[in-house]
């Protein structure tokens, strides 16, 4: 961004459109005056998107969020942000304005946010369009954990597999994680606690990933992680860190000493391959991790 001419910086700074740029971790690295005013950002601030949304929600400002549980809304929104090259939606602000938002994500994970004020435009069907967007979101969301459901995470995998990347860059990595001995958790502590564990694991995984990384629940106690642009060698420390986060952060209230662990199988994605081929390869690696003693990551050979 340092290479931009002063005239372009001035244009970005004074346009009425809301313009922001996020890095792959979801941290705001540039915001023009209109963006800062709408989302209450102080000079020099570079907040994470999650922290910015959470702060404004609790202050009763910024984006109007009608979902009864903010954290569930946050997880559901994160399951879609940065997973496709361009994502657009209408949203309204607490001050009464309506915005048309377009988020464009580069292959390296950087995201451009552009918001246009459409408050004065014809609004007879605006609420209908917003209800449609909400219905689409629910169709893509796991109702328990609020992350991507199986259908949506598999759609994301299909999208990544057809991404055009230079031959020198990895397409990405796929990982399947499974909570170890989850039936024991349900039998010993009850299914309500089991559900709480699933929610806790999902939130822990999401917190440890970039915005452009995808997370979904395949069913039961099994999750899928997609790391676009990350080869198998680079994915290994990332995934091991996620396993460590789960074992140290996810606790069971009835027995705080109970150590919850996960096993994982990962593979590097190959351009042009079928999604079920990549899935089967990661699944076999997960089986090897389970057979090898659990609480470990295995890479597909």
Instruction: Supply the residues annotated as catalytic.
Output: 221
Residue 176: closest CA among 267, 93, 111: 267
CA quadruple 297, 175, 82, 88: dihedral positive or negative? Answer: negative
Residues 6 or more apart whose Cβ sits within 8 Å of residue 185: 179, 193, 194, 197, 252, 260
CA dist 30 and 103 (Å) reads 14
Contact 214, 153 (CB under 8 A): yes
Give the whole-angstrom CA distance, residue 260 versus residue 181.
9
Contact 267, 281 (CB under 8 A): yes
Q: Take residue 10 and report the two structure tokens written for it.
A: 């001035």
What is the rounded distance in angstroms from the CA atom of residue 222 to the CA atom of residue 236? 19
Helix count (H) and strand count (E) of the chain?
A: 10, 10
Cα angle 196-208-294, degrees, rounded to a multiple of 5: 65
Q: What phi and psi, each to the nearest 5 degrees, are found at residue 225?
A: -120, 135
H helix or E strand, kind and range, residue 204:
helix 191-207
């Amino acid at each position: 961004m340092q290479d931009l001419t002063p005239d372009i910086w001035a244009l970005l700074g004074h346009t009425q459109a809301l313009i922001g740029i996020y890095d792959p971790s979801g941290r705001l690295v540039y915001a023009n005056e209109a963006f800062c005013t709408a989302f209450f950002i102080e000079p020099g601030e570079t907040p994470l998107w999650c922290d910015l949304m959470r702060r404004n929600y609790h202050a009763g400002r910024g984006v109007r969020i009608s979902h009864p549980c903010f954290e569930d809304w946050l997880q559901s929104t994160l399951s879609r942000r940065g997973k496709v090259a361009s994502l657009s939606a209408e949203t309204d602000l607490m001050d009464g304005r309506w915005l048309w938002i377009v988020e464009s994500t580069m292959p390296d994970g950087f995201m451009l946010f552009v918001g246009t004020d459409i408050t004065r435009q014809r609004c007879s069907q605006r609420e209908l369009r917003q209800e449609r967007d909400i219905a689409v979101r629910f169709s893509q969301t796991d109702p328990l954990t609020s992350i991507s459901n199986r259908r949506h995470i598999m759609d994301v995998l299909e999208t990544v597999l057809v991404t055009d990347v230079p031959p020198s860059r990895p397409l990405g990595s796929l990982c399947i994680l499974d909570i170890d001995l989850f039936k024991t958790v349900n039998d010993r502590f009850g299914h309500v606690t089991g559900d709480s564990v699933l929610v806790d694991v999902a939130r822990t995984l999401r917190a440890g990933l970039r915005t452009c990384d995808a997370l979904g629940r395949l069913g039961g106690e099994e999750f899928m992680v997609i790391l676009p642009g990350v080869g198998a060698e680079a994915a290994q420390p990332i995934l091991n860190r996620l396993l460590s986060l789960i074992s140290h952060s996810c606790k069971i209230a009835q027995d705080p000493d109970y150590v919850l662990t996960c096993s994982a199988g990962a593979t590097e994605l190959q351009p042009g391959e079928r999604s079920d081929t990549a899935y089967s390869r990661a699944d076999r690696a997960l089986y090897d991790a389970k057979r090898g003693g659990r609480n470990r990551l295995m890479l597909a050979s």
